[in-house]
C-alpha cells in the first residue's frame, strides 16, 4: 500500500525573517516591480530611438542603393551601346544595330526610372541630357551609312555620356555617405543617452538580482543535488532543503519519496529472495528429469529424441543463468562482476545459441541466413553468450511464421559489428532507448506464450558496455535491427592482448 504524501510543512519564520518573502513567486514579484519596471522604461526609450534610427537607415539604404544600382546600370548599358555602335561602323552588320536599339531602349527606361526618384536638380538635368543624347545618336546611326564621317564623329559623344554617368554614380555615393554620417552622429547621441540610463538602472538591478539569487538559487541547488542523488540511487542520506516555503515543501516531498524508494527497495529484495527459491526448485527438477532422459534411464531414445533432450539440457542451463541474472539485477543494483576475457571468434558461439533455439525456430519454420566470419575478439564467453542468446531469442520470438532471421558480422572502424535482423513488427523509434531500461515492456506485439521480464536487453547492453562495446537499435524499414559492437583483439607475440581491460562495470 502506498503511503500518503506527508502534510508537514516548513516551520514558521521568526524574528526579522518574518519580513522576508515566503515564496519564490513573492521574490519574483518584487523583482518585477523594482527591476523590470525601470528596465521597461529604458527599453521603451531605446525602442523609440532604434525605431527612428532604423527607419532613417532603411530609407537611406534603399534609396541610396537603388540610385547607385540604376546609375551603374546606365553605365553598363552605355558601354554595351558604344561597343555595338563602334563595331557596326566597322563591319556594318545590321544585327549590331538591332542590339544597339534594344540597349538604347533599356537605357532610356532605366534613365526614366532614375529621373523619377531624383531630387537633385543637377543630377536630373544630367539624366535628361543623357536620354536626349542617346536618342540623337540612335537617329544618326540609323540614318547614316556605316563608317560615314557624321557617324564616326558621333562616336565621340559616348565619352561625354560616360563622364555624365560616372558623375551620377559619384554624386549618389557622396549623398549616401553624407546621410550615413548623419545617422552615425544621431546614433552616438542615442548611445550616450542609453548609457546614462543603463548606469542608473544596472546597479539597482544588479543589487536586487544578487539578493534574489542568494535567497533562491542556494535552495534550488540543494534541491537539484537531492534529485540527482535520488536518480543515481542514493537513498540513504536524508533530504533537507531550506529557502522559501514552496521550495521547502518540495524538499519535504522529496524526503517522502526517498523514504518510499527505500521501502520499495526493501520489498524488492524480499521478493527476489523469495522468488529465488520458487524458481530454482522446479528448475532443479527439470534438470534432474532431463539428465534421466539423457542417460536413457527410463528407456532408449532415438537420435531425434536425444537431440531434443540435448536442447532441453542446454536451455535449462541457460535458464539457470538467466535466473541468477534476474536475482542480481534490479533498478538500482546492476550485476557487477569481473570479465574473464579469452581470445575467441563469434561463429561457434552463435551456432551454439542457434542450436538452443532450434525447437521454436522449427515450430515457426524460420529461415536463418548467417554471414559470420572468423574475426578474433577478446571477450567473456559466458557474458557474450548471454548477449547473443538474448538477441536471437528476441528475433525468434517476434518473427512471424516462415520469416527470415539474418545474422551478419563485419569490421567497421576497427570494431567488430554483429547485426541481427528479423522480419517481425519492428521497434518504434520512440522505444529505441526505452527497451534497454530494466523491466521496460515494449508495446510491440508478439505471438509467444510467455511475457518477458524486461531485463534481457538491459542485461545485454550492460554486458556489451562492460566489454567497452555497445548494443543499439538501428532504424529499419521492416523488422527489428539490433547491432552489437565490440572492440577487436590486438595480436601480440605472446598471445592476444585485449583492447578492453578486466574491470567491473
Max mean pLDDT range (79-93, 150-164, 212-226, 386-400): 386-400
- Closest-CA residue to 282 (of 308, 250, 319, 255): 319
Q: Check residue 495 and give its pLDDT.
A: 45
Per-residue pLDDT of 233-288, as tens digits, reads 677 778 777 766 667 777 778 788 888 877 877 777 677 666 665 776 677 777 77
How does residue 119 score in pLDDT terms, banded at 50, 70 and 90? low
Neighbours of 155 (CB within 10 A): 15
Cell of 75: 553605365
**pLDDT, position 2:** 46
DSSP structure string for 218-274: HHHHHHHHHHHHHHTT--SSPP---SSHHHHHHHHHHHHHHHHHHHHHHHHHHHHHH
282-315 tens-digit pLDDT? 777 777 777 777 777 767 778 787 778 777 777 7
> Could you give phi then psi for residue 354, rounded to 5 degrees?
-60, -40
Yes or no: say if 84 and 141 are a contact pair by the CB < 8 Å rule: no
In this structure, what C-alpha cell is assigned to residue 219? 535552495
Task: Give the burial class of 279: count Cβ atoms within 10 A of its Cβ; 0-12 exposed, 13-18 middle, 19 or more buried.
Answer: middle
Give 71's contacts (C-beta < 8 A, 6+ positions apart): 114, 165, 168, 169, 172
Mean pLDDT of the chain: 76
Q: Tell me, what's the pLDDT at 472? A: 93
What is the pLDDT at residue 493?
Answer: 39
Q: Phi and psi at residue 489, in whole multiples of 5°?
A: -80, 150
SS3 percent helix, strand, coil of the chain, rounded to 5, is: 65, 10, 25
Q: In which band, very low, low, confident or very high, does the pLDDT at 366 lie, cut at 50, 70 and 90?
A: very high
In whole angstroms, what is the distance from residue 68 CA to residue 123 CA?
12
pLDDT digits (tens, 9 = 90+) for 73-111: 888 888 888 888 888 888 888 888 888 888 888 888 888
Q: At what angle do helices 303-328 and 346-356 cross, to 10 degrees?
A: 100
- Comparison of pLDDT for 25 and 185, the residue scoring more: 185
Question: Is the pLDDT confidence value at 175 over 90?
Answer: no
In 3D, which of 333, 45, 92, 319 has the Cα closest to residue 191?
Answer: 45
Round to whole Å and give the CA distance between 421 and 477.
11
Please tell me the distance from the alpha carbon of residue 18 to that of residue 13, in angstroms, as a whole number: 5
pLDDT for the residue numbered 300:
77
Comparing 132-141, 143-152, 230-239, 254-263, the range with the smallest average pLDDT is 230-239
Are 454 and 438 within 8 A, CB to CB? yes
Residues 239 and 226: their CA atoms lie apart, in Å, by 6
Q: Crossing angle for the helix pair 303-328 and 381-398, nearest 10 degrees?
A: 110
- Model pLDDT, residue 60: 60
**CB-CB contact of 338 with 371 (8 Å):** no
**Angle (CA) 487 491 496, round 5°:** 80
**pLDDT band with cut points at 50, 70 and 90 for residue 494:** very low
* Bridge partners (DSSP) listed for residue 489: 498
Which sign does the torsion angle of CA 106, 110, 112, 113 carry?
positive
Q: What percent of the chain has pLDDT over 90?
A: 11
> Are 405 and 479 a contacting pair, CB within 8 Å?
no
C-alpha cell at position 354: 542457434
In 324-469, beta strands by DSSP E: 341-345, 367-371, 376-380, 404-412, 415-421
Which of 368, 352, 364 is CA-nearest to residue 402? 364
Residue 89 and residue 137: Cα distance in Å, rounded?
13
Question: In this structure, are residues 415 and 469 in contact, taking their beta carbons and an 8 Å threshold?
Answer: yes
| pLDDT tier, 447 (very low <50, low <70, confident <90, very high otherwise) | low
Give bridge partners of residue 412 from the DSSP assignment. 415
- What pLDDT is recorded for position 27? 62
Q: Sorting pLDDT into bands at 50, 70 and 90, what band is 418?
A: very high
Distance CA 398, CA 360 (A): 11
Average pLDDT over residues 21-31: 62
Q: How confident is the model at residue 35 (pLDDT cuts 50, 70, 90)?
A: low
Using pLDDT thresholds of 50, 70 and 90, give the confidence band for residue 498. Answer: very low
- Quick one: pLDDT at residue 420? 95
Provide the pairing of β-strand 367-371 with 404-412: parallel
Residue 41 near residue 292 (C-beta atoms within 8 A): no
Mean pLDDT for 323-331 is: 60
User: Cβ(159)–Cβ(133) under 8 Å?
Assistant: no
When pLDDT is cut at 50, 70 and 90, the band that residue 331 belongs to is very low
The number of beta carbons lying within 10 Å of the beta carbon of residue 153 is 10
pLDDT value at residue 502: 37
Which range among 113-122, 425-434, 443-452 has the greatest average pLDDT? 425-434
Q: Order the strands of the 367-371 sheet from edge to edge.
A: 367-371, 404-412, 415-421, 481-487, 470-474
As given in the structure block, the three cell numbers for residue 362 are 522449427
Q: Which helix (H) or strand (E) holds 485?
A: strand 481-487
Reply yes or no on whether the pLDDT at 145 is more than 70.
yes
pLDDT of residue 370: 92
Tell me what the mean pLDDT of segment 49-72 comes to. Answer: 68
Q: Which residues contact 332 (CB under 8 A, 6 or more apart)?
A: 233, 235, 265
Q: How far is Cα 237 from Cα 148, in angstroms, rounded to an integer?
A: 107
pLDDT of residue 348 exceeding 80, the answer is yes
Amino acid at each position: 500500500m502506498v503511503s500518503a504524501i506527508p502534510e508537514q510543512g516548513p516551520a514558521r519564520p521568526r524574528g526579522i525573517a518574518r519580513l522576508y518573502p515566503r515564496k519564490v513567486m513573492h521574490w519574483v514579484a518584487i523583482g518585477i516591480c523594482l527591476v523590470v519596471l525601470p528596465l521597461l522604461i529604458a527599453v521603451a526609450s531605446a525602442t523609440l530611438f532604434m525605431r527612428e534610427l532604423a527607419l532613417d537607415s532603411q530609407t537611406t539604404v534603399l534609396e541610396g542603393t537603388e540610385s547607385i544600382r540604376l546609375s551603374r546600370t546606365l553605365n553598363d548599358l552605355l558601354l554595351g551601346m558604344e561597343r555595338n555602335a563602334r563595331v557596326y561602323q566597322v563591319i556594318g552588320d545590321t544585327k549590331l544595330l538591332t542590339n544597339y536599339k534594344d540597349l538604347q531602349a533599356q537605357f532610356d527606361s532605366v534613365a526614366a526610372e532614375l529621373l523619377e526618384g531624383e531630387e537633385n536638380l543637377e543630377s536630373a538635368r544630367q539624366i535628361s541630357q543623357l536620354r536626349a543624347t542617346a536618342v540623337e545618336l540612335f537617329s544618326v546611326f540609323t540614318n547614316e551609312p556605316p563608317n560615314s564621317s557624321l557617324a564616326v564623329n558621333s562616336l565621340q559623344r559616348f565619352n561625354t555620356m560616360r563622364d555624365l554617368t560616372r558623375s551620377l554614380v559619384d554624386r549618389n555615393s557622396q549623398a549616401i555617405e553624407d546621410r550615413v554620417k548623419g545617422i552615425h552622429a544621431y546614433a552616438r547621441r542615442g548611445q550616450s543617452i542609453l548609457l546614462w540610463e543603463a548606469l542608473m538602472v544596472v546597479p539597482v538591478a544588479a543589487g536586487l538580482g544578487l539578493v534574489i539569487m542568494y535567497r533562491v538559487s542556494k535552495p534550488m541547488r540543494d534541491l537539484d543535488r537531492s534529485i540527482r542523488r535520488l536518480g543515481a540511487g542514493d537513498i540513504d542520506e536524508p533530504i533537507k532543503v531550506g529557502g522559501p516555503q514552496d521550495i521547502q515543501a518540495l524538499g519535504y516531498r522529496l524526503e517522502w519519496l526517498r523514504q518510499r524508494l527505500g521501502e520499495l527497495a526493501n520489498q524488492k529484495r524480499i521478493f527476489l529472495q523469495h522468488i529465488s527459491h520458487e524458481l530454482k526448485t522446479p528448475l532443479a527438477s527439470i534438470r534432474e528429469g532431463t539428465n534421466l532422459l539423457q542417460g536413457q534411464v527410463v528407456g532408449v531414445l532415438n537420435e531425434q529424441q536425444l537431440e531434443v533432450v540435448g536442447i532441453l539440457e542446454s536451455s535449462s542451463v541457460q535458464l539457470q543463468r538467466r535466473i541468477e541474472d534476474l536475482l542480481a539485477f534490479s533498478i538500482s543494483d546492476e550485476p557487477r562482476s569481473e570479465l574473464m576475457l579469452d581470445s575467441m571468434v563469434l561463429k561457434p558461439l552463435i551456432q551454439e545459441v542457434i542450436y538452443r533455439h532450434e525447437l521454436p525456430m522449427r515450430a515457426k519454420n524460420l529461415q536463418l541466413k548467417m554471414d559470420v566470419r572468423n574475426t578474433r575478439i577478446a571477450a567473456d564467453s559466458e557474458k557474450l553468450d548471454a548477449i547473443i542468446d538474448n538477441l536471437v531469442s528476441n528475433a525468434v520470438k517476434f518473427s512471424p511464421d516462415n520469416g527470415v532471421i539474418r545474422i551478419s558480422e563485419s569490421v567497421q572502424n576497427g570494431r567488430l559489428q554483429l547485426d541481427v535482423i528479423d522480419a517481425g513488427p519492428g521497434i518504434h523509434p520512440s522505444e529505441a532507448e526505452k527497451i534497454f531500461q530494466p523491466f521496460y515492456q515494449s508495446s510491440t506485439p508478439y505471438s509467444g506464450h510467455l511475457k518477458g521480464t524486461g531485463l534481457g536487453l538491459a542485461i545485454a547492453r550492460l554486458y556489451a558496455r562492460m566489454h567497452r562495446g555497445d548494443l543499439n537499435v538501428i532504424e529499419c524499414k521492416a523488422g527489428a535491427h539490433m547491432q552489437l559492437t565490440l572492440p577487436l583483439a590486438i595480436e601480440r607475440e605472446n598471445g592476444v592482448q585485449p583492447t578492453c581491460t578486466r574491470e567491473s562495470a
